[in-house]
Structure 1
Amino acid sequence: MNNFGVRDVDVVVIGAGQAGLSGAYHLQRAGLLPDRDFVVLDHAPRAGGAWQFRWPSLTYGKVHGMHALPGMELTGADEGRPSSEVIGAYFTAYEKRFDLRVHRPVAVTAVRDGGGEGGRLLVETSEGTWAARALINATGTWDRPFWPRYPGQETFRGRQLHTVDYPGPEEFAGKRVIVVGGGASGTQHLMEIAEFAADTTWVTRRQPVFREGPFDEDAGRAAVAMVEQRVRRGLPPQSAVSVTGLPLNDSVHRARESGVLDRLPMFDRITPTGAPWRRT
């Protein structure tokens, strides 16, 4: 930890992705000033949130919707350009336009009760300690992905990887590949890999739901309302695709017609050489 001492602000925002930048924007609209009344801390090396780490083959035209940040639309984006570059540039321009003064790279190591009458929180970081009346946790999940657990997983002699480590489809040339998951990332990976792999299999826990028509503002509001209703009942939010559905674009139509998107239920276990299904 550096020797900056304890610095006082009203609010610490941890994370500079969509949620963190949106929070910082509204703090500023409420009259708070960056680096005086609030501070934004981001561990990433540059602007872009988790988008900067997306795989190169995920072009902006393949993105399953990206809600604009408040106060500044994303316009004129090249759909053939990697989304990591498009959205990274957009976030960079946004930070500059609103002078949000994001501190990076800064690692937050602990948040503690500061004690005393002020009821402040102590936010310990690689840049020193901040004392704040409030904290916005906008860290996201990219750095701590969820790996589902299946019997025999540790015995598999092949390669297992999560979306966060996906390098692109070329590395799967000539291999037999199982893609697990019914979200947008899973289907995008599957359709790409199928062009290179010897064979692909798609498995999901639930039957995928495909959606016809554009995902417009009304559909977006309806999806947000569904999430809000669930959270207000004290339930954790479900996956994004559970409220948005999978878009039926031309590439998805072709993949369904060719059998690439023929789905199987989850396998029973993992063995050293594959994944068998229970016989019924």
Structure 2
Amino acid sequence: MEYVEVVVVGAGQAGLSSAYHLRRRGFAPGEEFVVLDHAPRAGGAWQFRWPTLTYGAVHGMHALPGLGLGEADPDRPSAEVIGDYFARYEEAFDLPVRRPVDVRSVHPADDGGLLVRTSAGAWHTRALINATGTWERPFWPRLPGQERFRGRQTHTRDYPGPEAFAGQRVVVVGGGTSAVQHLLEIAGTAAETTWVTRRPPLFREGPFDAEAGRRAVALVADRVRRGLPPRSVVSATGLPLTDALRQAREHGLLERLPLFDRMTPDGVAWDDGRFLAADAVVWATGFRPVLDHLAPLRLREPGGGVRLEGTRVVGDPRVHLVGYGPSASTIGANRAGRTAVADVSAVLGRDRKDAREVEHPHGSSSVRMRVPQLAVAWLCDTRC
């Protein structure tokens, strides 16, 4: 058993932001707080993105607090660019990330704290900041006949890139950013593509200003306050109509069909008699929050979600969720980390003025870096 004041679960954007702010508030790395990450290396969920998702194709990647990403080759895979950046960040601020560690369950402790059981032993803590994201819990719709389909079925989580589907008849299911990216990539390999969505896609023209961002955040935050499962960002913002999407629409690639009613061994079918032969189905149908390890705390509301005030769980103030609901974006994750740490510090009696400067631990003779102010805006990335 190890004893710490705070356990952070997950070392993606939200987890690293939380760790940074804990250090900034004076929590000793490794002694008073620890970050438990189940991934094999730095990079959060980004390290698992498909190779053809280049950094230039990623929109809305906001830098972590205290250290900019710097110049990056837009043609380099985003998994490499952001993985290297996160690794530099962990080293620069001496963040106590332990990996690979699988957090299996979190239980109430007899003394009012929390017991975190993992593949690497147990931690006793007074507060937990959960930053586990959604990547490990892909959502697969279940339809009649799905198990009899003889072709290939893959989810965005395991998408291997477009070349695996070259020359095939491919159905792409989903109305978000990833679905459109898969669709356009696969179509470029001489494959025969069909786009299927449950609802007609909503395309957004013009700039996405701060006011539109606030409205989108408010819609997602309202569901979280009511204890309902958060919806995807795209459901609130729509798909940005880029030049690439305009060209695809002109060429008929974005002509969408409604979701089919069943699958057959050789394709997909609708109840109105339509049938479409297919060699592969790509399910770009989103993800759900990874919260099963918190089940012993009984945090879920009757509506199926976890009710929050800010980042704090209403049903258990020892627990904060960051990168969840309204903070499920790169800039939102930064703000959530700061908010959670401020609340935890106050509850643990560690509250003090949050200095605007933080020392860079590995700089030459006390180098100090100005912490950037976080703009009030909503930036959607490829997790949408």
Q: Please report the TM-score for the alignment, with normalisation by the length of structure 2.
A: 0.68
The residue identity in structure 2 corresponding to 1:110 is: S
Larger mean CA deviation between 187-196 and 71-80 belongs to 71-80
After TM superposition, give the deviation of residue 38 of structure 1 in Å: 0.8
Give the 5 Å matches for 1:1-280: 6-115=1-110, 118-215=111-208, 219-279=212-272
State how far apart, in whole Å, the 1-side matches of 2:243 and 2:202 are: 16
State how far apart, in whole Å, the 1-side matches of 2:11 and 2:109 are: 24
After TM superposition, give the deviation of residue 79 of structure 1 in Å: 1.5
Cα displacement string for residues 245-280 of structure 1 (whole angstroms, at most 9, x for unaligned residues): 212112111111111111111111111111112218
The residue identity in structure 2 corresponding to 1:199 is: E
| Equivalence for 2:287 | none
After TM superposition, give the deviation of residue 214 of structure 1 in Å: 4.1
Equivalent residues of 1:52, 1:84 under 8 A apart: yes
Equivalent residues of 1:16, 1:47 under 8 A apart: yes
After TM superposition, give the deviation of residue 75 of structure 1 in Å: 3.1
Q: 1:220 to 1:190 in 2, by over 3 A?
A: same
Return the structure number with greater relative CO, CA threshold 8 A, min gap 6: 2
State how far apart, in whole Å, the 2-side matches of 1:76 and 1:223 are: 30
State how far apart, in whole Å, the 1-side matches of 2:24 and 2:218 are: 24
Q: 1:10 to 1:91 in 2, by over 3 A?
A: same
The residue identity in structure 2 corresponding to 1:47 is: A
After TM superposition, give the deviation of residue 229 of structure 1 in Å: 2.4
SS at match of 1:22: helix
After TM superposition, give the deviation of residue 40 of structure 1 in Å: 0.1
| Equivalence for 1:3 | none
State how far apart, in whole Å, the 2-side matches of 1:38 and 1:223 are: 33
After TM superposition, give the deviation of residue 244 of structure 1 in Å: 2.6
| Equivalence for 2:311 | none
Equivalent residues of 1:179, 1:202 under 8 A apart: yes
State how far apart, in whole Å, the 2-side matches of 1:58 and 1:113 are: 41
After TM superposition, give the deviation of residue 20 of structure 1 in Å: 1.0
Equivalent residues of 1:64, 1:184 under 8 A apart: no
The residue identity in structure 1 corresponding to 2:76 is: R
State how far apart, in whole Å, the 2-side matches of 1:49 and 1:269 are: 35
Larger mean CA deviation between 167-176 and 68-77 belongs to 68-77
Q: 1:62 to 1:217 in 2, by over 3 A?
A: farther
The residue identity in structure 1 corresponding to 2:120 is: E
Aligned length: 273
SS at match of 1:270: strand
| Equivalence for 2:334 | none
State how far apart, in whole Å, the 2-side matches of 1:87 and 1:216 are: 25
After TM superposition, give the deviation of residue 135 of structure 1 in Å: 1.1
After TM superposition, give the deviation of residue 219 of structure 1 in Å: 4.5
| Equivalence for 2:308 | none
After TM superposition, give the deviation of residue 215 of structure 1 in Å: 4.2
Larger mean CA deviation between 69-78 and 190-199 belongs to 69-78
After TM superposition, give the deviation of residue 216 of structure 1 in Å: 5.5
The residue identity in structure 1 corresponding to 2:119 is: S
SS at match of 1:161: strand
